[in-house]
């Protein structure tokens, strides 16, 4: 590998510092297991194939390309040259043969996206360009190139279209329900695909600190002197472990309408992966190649995803995930665990609460055989 300036796939690439190149790398290398399983589940969703085929022919992709061409700035050697260098650098490192067009669009909101049906287009906002430094931006460009290599652009484009369509047909009850079912499934996959692309960004930038800084800036703006990486990651741990079952439900409700995972969660996930043996093996040159993609099976993806989910549930500090783990493990007293989880509803100490129609004394409970039979209530059913 040479990083001193060279011709690669018809374009010159001059990285600003030496980084490893992953020749022939398969997107399976960095894709989060939940990303692959969510996409497989999405494709199996009733009605998705019909909608996908219909939208593939109806979506105005040419109009989309003309819109960016006419009302945004196309990145090139003559315009935003530093971004053009980053783009070619990222495509070289991930061995993406065709460099996707990239545009900068005027929008103060920091954002980037990879969309398109036939060919991906990368779009970054001025708000993002102004917010991030060179190494942070390099990770973002690598993030979007990772989306392109994984083939995410098609589904992301459909999600954007369906989200707008759902707003227009909200007055049609059944039509809106049908669309929102697919939108919800797409959002679930979208969130997982972001974790995959974050990993791709790290493979391109190969600077974990820069990736962390970029995520912190997305959360708190350009005030790094006021922020601390360790404290930021502690927020993710507190978010996962804090509260009771009610908080777990609220987390789910807060997440459902989002296309991206929460920023602290993304940072924690990326740091965990960067410290894993899998990441080190990739950096040592041991990773799946695209030439092997045809030999992989859906069942293998599901097995990997199932193992990943099982590990996440087992290691999670979230109250709901602990309960799920207990159920899977056949733990007893689940009714009591649920009541303690939601104990705050009734007020007071959940351990001191007694079922409304339970008039027995503690002494009586020690001798159940002496108790007269009585009707069971939901509170009594542990």
- For the annotated catalytic residues, the residue numbers are 144
In whole angstroms, what separates CA 158 from the centre of its chain? 17
Rounded distance between C-alpha atoms, residue 167 and residue 171, angstroms: 9
Q: Do β-strands 102-105 and 11-13 pair in parallel, antiparallel, or remain unpaired?
A: unpaired
According to DSSP H, which parts of the chain are helical? 33-43, 48-58, 61-71, 81-93, 126-131, 134-150, 153-168, 173-205, 208-220, 229-241, 245-255, 263-274, 277-283, 298-315, 319-328, 334-341, 362-365
Rounded distance between C-alpha atoms, residue 311 and residue 331, angstroms: 18
3-state secondary structure of 225: helix
Spatial CB neighbours of 305, under 8 Å, sequence gap ≥ 6: 33, 34, 36, 37
* Other CB atoms within 10 Å distance of the CB of residue 176: 17
* pLDDT tens-digit series, residues 65-119: 888 889 999 999 999 999 999 999 999 999 999 999 999 999 999 999 998 877 8
In a 13 Å sphere around the CA of 73, the CA atoms on its Cβ side amount to: 17
Four-residue CA torsion sign, 132, 137, 143, 145: positive
* Other CB atoms within 10 Å distance of the CB of residue 256: 11
In the prediction, which pLDDT does 66 show?
81
- The separation between the first and the last C-alpha atoms of the chain, rounded to the nearest angstrom, is 63
Rounded distance between C-alpha atoms, residue 248 and residue 251, angstroms: 5
In the prediction, which pLDDT does 166 show?
57
Inter-CA distances, 63 with 70, 101, 151, 361, Å: 10, 15, 21, 75
Of 199, 23, 15, the closest CA to residue 94 belongs to 23
In the prediction, which pLDDT does 345 show?
43
Of 145, 126, 141, 119, the closest CA to residue 62 belongs to 119
Rounded distance between C-alpha atoms, residue 382 and residue 377, angstroms: 10
Residue appearing with tokens 């350009």: 222
* pLDDT tens-digit series, residues 175-193: 556 666 777 777 777 888 9
Spatial CB neighbours of 210, under 8 Å, sequence gap ≥ 6: 133, 135, 136, 138, 139
Q: What is the pLDDT along the chain (382 residues), one digit of tens a residue?
A: 434 444 444 444 445 568 999 999 999 999 988 777 776 666 666 566 566 656 655 556 667 788 888 999 999 999 999 999 999 999 999 999 999 999 999 999 999 999 887 789 999 999 999 999 999 999 999 999 999 999 888 877 777 777 666 555 554 554 556 666 777 777 777 888 999 999 999 999 999 999 999 999 999 999 999 999 999 999 988 887 766 556 556 656 666 666 678 899 999 999 999 999 999 999 999 999 999 877 665 556 556 555 555 555 455 555 545 545 554 554 445 455 444 555 544 444 444 444 444 444 444 444 444 444 444 444 444 4
User: Exposed, middle or buried, 235 (CB in 10 Å: 0-12/13-18/19+)?
Assistant: middle
Q: Do β-strands 112-115 and 121-125 pair in parallel, antiparallel, or remain unpaired?
A: antiparallel
């Amino acid at each position: 590998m040479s990083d001193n300036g060279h011709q690669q796939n018809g374009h010159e690439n001059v990285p600003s510092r030496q980084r490893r190149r992953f020749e022939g790398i398969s997107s399976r290398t960095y894709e989060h297991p939940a990303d692959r399983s969510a996409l497989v589940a999405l494709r199996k969703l009733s009605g998705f194939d019909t909608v996908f085929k219909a939208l593939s022919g109806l979506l105005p992709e040419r109009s989309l390309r003309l819109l960016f061409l006419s009302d945004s700035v196309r990145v090139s050697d003559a315009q935003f040259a530093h971004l053009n260098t980053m783009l070619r650098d990222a495509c070289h490192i991930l061995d993406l043969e065709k460099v996707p067009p990239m545009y900068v669009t005027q929008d103060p909101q920091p954002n980037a996206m990879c969309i398109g049906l036939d060919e991906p287009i990368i779009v970054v906002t001025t708000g993002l360009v102004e917010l991030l430094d060179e190494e942070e931006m390099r990770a973002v460009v690598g993030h979007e190139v990772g989306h392109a290599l994984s083939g995410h652009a098609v589904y992301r484009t459909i999600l954007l279209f369906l989200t707008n369509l759902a707003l227009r047909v909200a007055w049609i009850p059944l039509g809106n329900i049908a669309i929102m079912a697919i939108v919800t499934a797409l959002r679930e996959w979208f969130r997982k695909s972001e974790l995959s692309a974050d990993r791709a960004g790290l493979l391109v930038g190969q600077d974990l600190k820069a990736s962390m800084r970029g995520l912190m800036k997305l959360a708190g703006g350009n005030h790094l002197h006021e922020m601390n990486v360790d404290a930021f990651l502690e927020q993710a741990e507190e978010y996962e472990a804090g509260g009771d079952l009610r908080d777990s439900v609220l987390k789910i409700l807060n997440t459902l309408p989002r296309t991206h995972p929460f920023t602290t969660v993304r940072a924690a996930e990326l740091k965990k992966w960067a410290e894993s043996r899998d990441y080190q093996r990739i950096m040592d040159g041991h990773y799946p190649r695209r030439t092997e993609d045809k030999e992989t099976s859906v069942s293998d993806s599901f097995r990997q995803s199932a193992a990943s989910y099982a590990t996440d549930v087992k290691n999670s500090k979230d109250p709901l995930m602990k309960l799920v783990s207990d159920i899977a493990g056949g733990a007893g007293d689940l009714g009591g665990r649920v009541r303690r989880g939601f104990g705050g509803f009734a007020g007071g100490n959940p351990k001191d609460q007694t079922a409304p129609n339970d008039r027995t004394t503690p002494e009586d409970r020690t001798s159940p055989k002496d108790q007269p039979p009585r009707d069971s209530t939901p509170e009594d059913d542990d």
